[in-house]
Amino acid sequence: MRTKRTSLVNLIYFSRLSLAADAPTRARQVSEIAKHAQKKNEFAVITSFLILEGNFAVQIIEGERLSVNETFQRIAADARHRDVKIVEWREIIKRAFVTSFTTGIRGGTTEAHFSKAGLLPMLQRGTPKASTIHNLATTLQHDTMSKQGIDHLFG
């Protein structure tokens, strides 16, 4: 018999980043966020995917209900972004993301995926669709895993 799992939820939010205007400082700030978040998420058994598009941050967080709530409370209070809005909060059967924190940005091989998804105009209107975010994030994750030769492990 299968062991009963704890209740899993997924939370999607978007926000406007308040980071430095110059690219190198911004890149350093993003990597500082990523480094810290990765450690915290590993500890809390959170899996997540962060999409940076224009000046927006869009993140999917998955995990046990209380861990997701607690993590989101901290994220929402972070002064490095503002106008944090929840797009979706729902119970899930399985996780869709593999790592505790991966960042997807536009450029190079990901350019086509970002353009096809058309997320930026939705963000600018303030009404991004959960399915568009989810599809873009899983596509970006799949691409990364194919490059690493581990995509077959996750179906």
Ligand X SMILES: Cc1cc2nc3c(=O)[nH]c(=O)nc-3n(C[C@H](O)[C@H](O)[C@H](O)COP(=O)(O)O)c2cc1C
78 part of the interface to ligand X, by CB under 6 A? yes
58 part of the interface to ligand X, by CB under 6 A? no
103 part of the interface to ligand X, by CB under 6 A? no
Q: How far is the CB of 140 from ligand X (least distance, A)?
A: 16
Applying CB under 6 A, the span of 37-45, 105-113, 124-132, 146-154 interacting with ligand X comes to: 37-45
Half-sphere exposure (Cβ direction) of 130: Cα atoms closer than 13 Å: 12
Distances (CA, A) of 31 to 12, 27, 65, 70, 92: 21, 6, 26, 22, 29
CA-nearest of 36, 30, 92 to 65 is 92
**What does the binding site for ligand X look like in residue numbers (CB under 6 A)?**
33, 36-37, 40-41, 48, 50, 57, 59, 61, 71, 74-75, 78, 80-81, 101
